[in-house]
Structure 1
Amino acid sequence: MRTQCLKTGFTLTLMFAAFAANAADALPRVMILATGGTIAGTGATSTTTVGYTAAKIGVERLIEAVPELQKVAHVKGEQVFQIASENMSNEHWLKLAKRVNEVLKQPDVDGIVITHGTDTIEETAYFLNLVVKSKKPVVIVGAMRPATAISADGPINLYNAVALAGSKEAVGQGVIVSLNDEIQGARDVTKTNTMTGNTFRAPELGSLGYMVSGQAKFYRSSTRKHTSETEFDVSKLETLPAVDIAYGSANANTLAIDAFAAAGDVGIVYAGTGNGSLSTSVRTRLTELRQKGIHINRSSRVGNGPTVRDGENDDNKTDFTVSDTLTPQKARILLMLALTKTKDSKEIQRMFYTY
């Protein structure tokens, strides 16, 4: 009898071990590509939340700090670069995009998480949203408090991002920004507060959903084309066209746009007042620059709502394009990529209404 009980117990132990092994094998496989930022930052004290040093902690330490990651995915890490995100450049974007596309082609990768500084996270997200060639989830995550701070938000944000990147719900949703238990679409999200944890918002169009106890809950999707549906290919690009942003205000002058033109810009995004309004002197100068071949995109500094074509300017006459609901910083990204495909302003305007 005792021998039979021992055999039964041993059999049950093997069954449970096999079950645990199968459950572990069923976990998604997520690659974390680290780029630096506050999530990898350190402060002088545990209460330092301003004036800390970003991009100090490597990806392996970030992963080790959140052992719960192993419960939701098989996780690997790679340090692509280590910078504060205000230093993000076109060259960084191209390197990151190419690496993302390489990794997503691997059959043993189900999704990617990119750790990133919050200052330019929305721009990197939108750039990748236009050039990633896969429906696999790409989730960009950051933190508003450095890793050394009391109640640092990086660990829970990273946990949620890994769970989201490994979820079936995130497949085909485009590039996602995930912080503060929220799921935000790359096209519409923007940083709205310099300090608080709930800084990332899509103020008018809304978030895509929430992370609830490590589970993705989507309530809407973007209607604009993205990732595998776009016409942009950066695989052979080493540089991007020179495009800069000039900011409108009362008493606006043309010094900035003149400097950009003199520096060799092929495109200028003008963040006008109101619905992309232009002062008389600015309109005159931008029209002259367009006649010289520089592409002009009319955007708005307001931050919400569409910049309407032929609303505050006769765009057909001046041959300007408008940004639709893109912020100036995202309009710059789309104009750069558009100029890698065409110089036709009508085609470029189509792209602004498509993406």
Structure 2
Amino acid sequence: MPRLVTSSCLTVSALLIAACIALPLCSTAAQAADTATTSNSRQSLPRVIVLATGGTISGTADARSAIGYNSGERTGKQLIKDVPDIGKFATISAEQISNVGSQDMSDGIWFQLAKRIDEIFARGEAEGVVITHGTDTMEETAFFLKNVLHSRQPVVLVGSMRPGGVVGADGPNNLLEAVEVAASPQSKGRGVMVVMNDTIHDPRWITKTNTTSVQTFMSPNAGPIGYVDPASVRYVAPATEARPSGFTLPAAGQLPRVDIVYAHSNMDASQIDHAVADNAKGIIVAGVGDGDVSKAALSAMERAAKMGIVVVRASRVGTGFVNRNVEIDDDKSGFVASLDLNPQKARLLTQLLIANGVTTPAKVQDAFSTTY
């Protein structure tokens, strides 16, 4: 019996020693397997590059008023760090293009964005791009990019109505959902979009409708193209036909001058005459109703058109279409009707057309009908 006890004790001891030796090895092997799984998971995620330009989403609160803030004070990398779950949708990197309030958005920043995005997709650096941007001119930047980019891979503009660090800040969730949309397989071939407040919009239709509400962006003439939340991306409209950009950006880095003139009661010819004197190559008239103006302003518009200046009738009204030849004889006067484009987008399209040598009323009108 004593020999059996001794033998048993030795056997147990041997097993304990073997287990102690094997345990670290098993633990190390498990850790290695977990690391490999994590690495493979990261490699399988789509790549998204965030191009930061500034705006309220990059702003910080200021005590000068209850809702005061300063735009463009935080970087794109800092914004990403504010959203812990953002890495589950994509492998993300950030680049700083500018850091301005969108009221200071310029041709130079637009050209830089367009060049960098074309490079990213041409070189295969990412599957999607997100642009953080101020809301005041976001619809213009989106419309510009949609018309000049050479790729139809997803480019998502996003912003916020409230700066970081305040109660109800909407920037982190908007940025999370923008990355989710840019990384989604459903977004392939859809090109430029805007994501705000759980909603996906097409640049042609979207516009800012409220000065402070988080539900400011709407597409009143067409509706949103989709919806997003942290769990899903849902499109309700098909992707538009893929077409290469027909526009070449000027080598000088600046678009031609096109002025917007706002119509009002008791309007005279002075604003239009001043635009001509200031060497505007195009004039967008934000007319009353269906793009109408006073008789004095109409005469000034006709004089400008005869001088070879592109004259476009838009409307100061927030919804609806500006149709041709309703109260004004556009054919006789040599005018262009903006159709569904609001004055700011009509200006952008006119600038691109003039920069590419398209200036006759018929050809400009055709572009307004067929462009994105």
What TM-score range do you get, normalising by the shorter chain? over 0.9
The letter of the residue matching 1:258 is: D
Alpha-carbon displacement from aligned partner over 1:254-308 (angstroms, at most 9, x marks no partner): 2221111111101000111111112111111100111111110011111211110
Indicate whether 1:37 and 2:55 are aligned. yes
Aligned twin of 1:244:
259
- The 1:49–1:22 alpha-carbon spacing in structure 2 relative to 1, beyond 3 Å, is farther
* 8 Å CA contact 1:185, 1:222 repeated in 2: no
- Name which of 260, 268, 272 aligns with 2:275: 260
- Name which of 78, 86, 93 aligns with 1:69: 86
Matches of 1:241 and 1:165, distance apart in 2: 32
Q: Secondary structure at the match of 2:185?
A: coil
1:187 is displaced (CA, Å) by 0.8
- Name which of 126, 129, 147 aligns with 2:146: 129
The letter of the residue matching 2:278 is: A
Aligned twin of 1:20:
38
TM-score (ref. length: structure 1): 0.93
The letter of the residue matching 2:91 is: H
* 8 Å CA contact 2:261, 2:271 repeated in 1: yes
Aligned twin of 2:333:
318
Bigger mean CA offset, 25-34 vs 211-220: 211-220
Aligned twin of 1:350:
366
More helix by percentage? 2
Aligned twin of 1:160:
177
Q: Secondary structure at the match of 2:70?
A: coil
1:214 is displaced (CA, Å) by 4.4
What is the alpha-carbon root mean square deviation over aligned residues?
A: 2.1
The letter of the residue matching 1:104 is: F
- The 5 Å alignment of 1:281-292 reads 281-292=296-307
1:232 is displaced (CA, Å) by 1.0
Indicate whether 1:335 and 2:350 are aligned. yes
Bigger mean CA offset, 192-201 vs 234-243: 234-243
Indicate whether 1:178 and 2:216 are aligned. no
* 8 Å CA contact 2:152, 2:192 repeated in 1: no
TM-score (ref. length: structure 2): 0.89
Uncovered stretches (5+) of structure 2, i.e. residues with no partner: 1-14
Uncovered stretches (5+) of structure 1, i.e. residues with no partner: none
Indicate whether 1:302 and 2:317 are aligned. yes
- Name which of 225, 240, 247 aligns with 1:208: 225
- Name which of 216, 230, 244 aligns with 2:245: 230
* 8 Å CA contact 1:308, 1:322 repeated in 2: yes
Indicate whether 1:96 and 2:125 are aligned. no
Identity %: 38
Bigger-Rg structure (1/2): 2
The letter of the residue matching 1:338 is: L
1:93 is displaced (CA, Å) by 1.6
* 8 Å CA contact 1:33, 1:114 repeated in 2: yes
Q: In the comparison of the two structures, how many residue pairs are matched?
A: 352
